[in-house]
Amino acid sequence: MGPDLDLIQPDIGPHGLGLVFISMNEKTVPVPSGQAGDQAGSQAGSSETGVPRSYLVWSALVTALLFLPTGLVALFFSIRTESLVRRGELERARRMSRAALVAIIVTVVAGVLAYAAVIGGLLALGAFSGG
């Protein structure tokens, strides 16, 4: 048999507009999106029966804007979460989702500290003085 191809289709559920992954082996996994979907995703991520959030957008943002090394770790966990959700391995996906969130938090803290150190160093060298 051929490869397992996934399709993404829009779905209007009780929490608003979202996406549904439909694979060739007939598994359907709803993935919330949008503002209502983010609220549903945070509720689903905390419950034992819901689909965990991947935090992919946040991972990409903190990787690009704050601190690359730990951001790449967050990005890896986010992509892995989406992959596990598509395969239906929700317990492993929940663990990866939590790991992605922790990596995002670490990246934000490291990025803010790194930017503060750079700006503090430039201030100490007088880079912003008018003369």
Distance CA 23, CA 11 (A): 15
Residue 128 binned pLDDT confidence (cut-offs 50, 70, 90): confident
pLDDT confidence tier of residue 29, bands split at 50, 70 and 90? low
Q: Is the pLDDT of residue 6 over 80?
A: no
pLDDT of residue 90: 95
**Phi, psi dihedral angles at 7 (to 5 degrees):** -120, 145
pTM: 0.62
Q: pLDDT-derived band of residue 110, with 50, 70 and 90 as boundaries?
A: very high
Residue 2 has pLDDT above 60, yes or no: no
Q: CA-to-CA distance for 62 and 108, rounded, in angstroms?
A: 7
β-strand partners of 22: 7, 28
